[in-house]
Amino acid sequence: MSLPPLSVLDLAPIPEGGTARDALDRSRALARHAEDLGYRRFWLAEHHNMTGIASAATALVIGHVAAGTRAIRVGAGGIMLPNHAPLTVAEQFGTLATLFPDRIDLGLGRAPGTDGATLRALRRDYGAADIFPQDVLEVQAFLDDPQPGQAVRAVPGAGTRVPLWILGSSLFGAELAGMLGLPYAFASHFAPDALLPALETYRARFRPSAQLEKPYAMVAINGIAADSEAEARRLFTTPQQAFTNLLRGTRGLLPAPIDDIETYWSGPEKRQASRMLARSLVGTAGTIRAGLERLTAETGADEIIVASAIHDHAARLRSYAILAEAHGALDGVEEGRRSAA
């Protein structure tokens, strides 16, 4: 079965025992690794006031990663637009596109990605989410060719036409992406319940645009791969703990794996965290391959983006290598290299 391209979703996690600098350097190293393995994109996500995530200044981290790689597309998965003025976003990503031509993606999300107190510290308000569609159009206009008499321009930015994506975990984003004719990425790695209805809505509402002629849907999943099923399940206890901590309101650094997750969570916590992590592939290359095939058949995804919250850096690199092997991405890279030679 032919599988869609694979990409990487990274939050620059800060592991227990590590620092923010460690996280940022490991993200850059992971991006180099993903590039060599044949992944299509490397996206970073905006979160604020979270002690275990180092990607709050998302545009800066994208620049850090893009400068350390050669050709892989690097972008935001995503920028939480209610936190920012559209002109500022256009200037930041126009600058990135100027520095790294034809390599930058801009995924836009409607959620603030943080709590109310932090939102106020960002000098934004909850009402900003209500004008998300207008803000998307404003960003798009700033990145397009300037119009005669246009009083305000993004410099750099105007004329770069950085590709926009709409991110979502509900039907709202699906409808908007379809109406605007933009590619759509669904956050099923933490909100799996609406995945299939959202994809159906997006495809039904899609209207061709200057950026995109037909629907293009990306599905986000959690992927934890190892050389044995037992080791993969043990590594998976890290995101299981992290999601349990989220439910408890006790976010912190990315926890190390444990031998028995059942001693960590209660019955209700297990049910809720497991439901949020339902779109996860965990196991060896054979298990991952079968899961990718099922996911592709079920969703018709045009691309799959994989988040891997693994505490140990070497184990995370190994996980993405096994994922690429299971997918066949590395074979395509090697074939391209042989053809070029």
Residue 113 Rama label (left phi>0; alpha psi -120 to 50; beta): left
Cα 7 to Cα 39: distance, rounded to the nearest angstrom: 5
Q: Token digits for 82?
A: 């209610």
pTM for this model (two decimals):
0.93
Residue 167 confidence (pLDDT): 97
Structural element, H or E, at residue 307: strand 303-307
Please say whether the beta carbons of 62 and 75 come within 8 A: yes
Please say whether the beta carbons of 7 and 305 come within 8 A: yes
Cα 8 to Cα 31: distance, rounded to the nearest angstrom: 8
Full pLDDT tens readout for the chain, 341 residues: 899 999 999 999 999 999 999 999 999 999 999 999 999 999 999 998 889 999 999 999 999 999 999 999 999 999 999 899 999 999 999 999 999 999 999 999 997 656 677 777 776 666 667 899 999 999 999 999 999 999 999 999 999 999 999 999 999 999 999 999 999 999 999 999 999 999 999 999 999 999 999 999 999 999 999 999 999 999 999 999 999 999 999 989 999 999 999 999 999 999 999 999 999 999 999 999 999 999 999 999 999 999 999 999 999 999 999 999 999 965 544 444 443 33
Cα 32 to Cα 178: distance, rounded to the nearest angstrom: 33
Residue 113 confidence (pLDDT): 58
Residue 37 confidence (pLDDT): 97
Cα 255 to Cα 240: distance, rounded to the nearest angstrom: 10
Q: Token digits for 102?
A: 């034809």
Residue 340 confidence (pLDDT): 36
Helix (H, G, I), strand (E, B) or coil at 251: coil
Residue 117 confidence (pLDDT): 77
Question: What domains lie within the chain, and their CATH numbers?
Answer: 6-225+284-340 (3.20.20.30)
Please say whether the beta carbons of 33 and 73 come within 8 A: no
Please say whether the beta carbons of 52 and 18 come within 8 A: no
Residue 111 confidence (pLDDT): 79
74 backbone dihedrals φ, ψ, rounded to 5° = -125, 135
DSSP string, 86-154: HHHHHHHHHHHHHHSTT-EEEEEESS-SS-HHHHHHTT--GGGGGGHHHHHHHHHHHHSPPPTT-S---
From first CA to last CA, the distance across the chain in angstroms is 28
